[in-house]
Chains A and B, each alone.
Chain A
Amino acid sequence: GEDVEQSLFLSVREGDSSVINCTYTDSSSTYLYWYKQEPGAGLQLLTYIFSNMDMKQDQRLTVLLNKKDKHLSLRIADTQTGDSAIYFCAEKKGAGTASKLTFGTGTRLQVTL
């Protein structure tokens, strides 16, 4: 289908790991992204992964990519209250200047004490 799917809500305790999942649509997508949106703010790029990679680690963030299942996940280690936000996965369809980002529905992460 056309939709990039994510679960709507995730609640974790501070200090635990968070795992946010995403199923994307286009196996030819070149880049896959994770964005964070805090209340009243725009989108902040957290990390991205090129489609020929399986994993990418960046400090507390780990991205796993399963191309066969078109599944992307974002793991946040030692989740903090400042991580509370909406997280969007996005895929880049097309190539060069004709490409566009298709976003998932967003997962609201709530971090509790």
Chain B
Amino acid sequence: KAGVTQTPRYLIKTRGQQVTLSCSPISGHRSVSWYQQTPGQGLQFLFEYFSETQRNKGNFPGRFSGRQFSNSRSEMNVSTLELGDSALYLCASSLWGPGGELFDTEAFFGQGTRLTVV
């Protein structure tokens, strides 16, 4: 069974640009969460999607957005990039029961996309 796949692995962008990161969850997993990891702030929750709907959101500005497709693949977008957006962006997928209840507690993480803003 393939794991969580994030693309691209590395990305360099300049300030003011926008970027889209992709995450393909484990087959059958319906929940995808995104996290930002920086040396200063550690791991911070961005948002979670389940069945194409955003279910939970962290404390990030509106420049950070995401979406989930019908095949559970998710993308996150960051507009008007700032130097402080340089980070490792991790996505995690989880298996959820048909009623939206927690069926399997384990979150599987991808290897991340390392974004550098110059």
Contacts and interface: CB of A to CB of B under 8 A. Distances in A.
B106 A45 contact: yes
Contacts of A80: none
Q: Is the interface of A mostly helix, strand, loop or mixed?
A: strand
Q: Is the interface on chain B under 10, 10 to 19, 20 to 34, or 35 or more residues?
A: 20 to 34
Interface stretch (A13-21, A54-62, A65-73, A92-100): A92-100
Interface string A72-99: 0000000000000000101010111111
Given A88-B43, A97-B50, A98-B56, A45 B107 contact: yes
Contact of B43 (A40, A44, A99, A103): A103
A97 B58 contact: no
Interface string B13-45: 000000000000000000101010000001111
A26 B50 CA distance: 24
14 contacts: A40-B111, A42-B109, A43-B92, A45-B107, A88-B43, A90-B43, A95-B102, A96-B100, A97-B50, A99-B102, A101-B45, A101-B107, A102-B45, A103-B42
Given A43-B90, A96-B101, A98-B55, 10 more contacts: A31-B105, A88-B43, A90-B43, A96-B100, A97-B50, A97-B96, A102-B45, A103-B43, A103-B44, A106-B43
Interface of B: 4, 6, 31, 33, 35, 42-45, 48, 50, 55-56, 58, 90, 92, 96, 100-102, 105-112
Interface of A: 31, 35, 40-45, 48, 88, 90, 92, 94-106
